[in-house]
Amino acid sequence: MDLAYLLQFLRELAANNTTAWMAEHRPEYQQARAAFTELISRVLAGAPAADAELAGLRPADVMFRLHKNDRGQRDPEPYKRRMGAGLKRGGRHAPRAGYYVGIQPGGQSRLWAGIFHPDTAMLGRIRQEIHYNSPGFHQILQAPALLRHFPAGLDLSVAQLSRPPRGYAATDPDLPWLKLKEYGVSRYFTDEQVLAPGFVAEVIAGMTAARPLVRFLNEALTNGE
């Protein structure tokens, strides 16, 4: 698993992010992609111990394309500067909470756990569960294992409503969490940490610590079904 090669390829891609450069360096891309595939294979091999819902997933089920699918008119770069995978039951695009593993040079490699861009109905169910089970929600957020791997706790810098959600009072003590438009915890790894022998084990340990939050979110989404 040559993660040093992967990081170096991504550095070069960041400096030469064009379709012409990629066409000239297709073999290097394939080698870097193979290194990332092996990384995700190793994570998936240990993932069921962290979250049984991840059993049976293959790298092809979870790995994202390098090419940008939603490139804006002002974005001249056709490729992402990272390789990433979304680990959750049903694969990377499944409408549920899960985990994200991304490799990007310069200390931007990331483990994230939660739910990204849920739709209105999903947000409604999550907010309802937080409102009904506030003690349980906060117990999860304050768990020592979670904070050991994700010291910043739940990310409150994400997009959020400017007013209380419909049906919730402005005096609701959980308002800062009810206004969020996505829910997750995140940690970053230096390049040295990515290259360390224990990197895969550290990723799996982080997933294990975040499992109660992921389970809370998924139970909220399936409540009543």
Query: 110 forms bridges with which residues in the sheet?
Result: 102, 188
Angstrom distances, CA of residue 214 to CA of 102, 114, 204, 219:
18, 6, 14, 9
Distance CA 138, CA 213 (A): 10
Distance CA 90, CA 54 (A): 9
Query: What number of CA atoms fall less than 13 Å from residue 57's CA on the CB side?
Result: 31
Tell me which of 119 and 76 has the higher pLDDT. Answer: 119
Distance CA 137, CA 85 (A): 26
What pLDDT is recorded for position 76? 81
Q: What is the pLDDT of residues 142-200, one digit of tens each?
A: 999 999 999 999 999 999 999 999 999 999 999 999 999 999 999 999 999 999 999 99
Q: How many domains does the chain have?
A: 1
Which range of residues forms the domain containing residue 137? 3-222
The answer to whether residue 73 scores a pLDDT higher than 80 is: no
**DSSP one-letter code for 130:** H
What pLDDT is recorded for position 183? 97
Distance CA 142, CA 125 (A): 22
Average pLDDT over residues 191-214: 97
Q: Whole-structure pTM over 0.95, yes or no?
A: no
List strands edge to edge, sheet with 83-87.
Answer: 83-87, 98-103, 109-115, 183-189
Average pLDDT over residues 114-137: 95
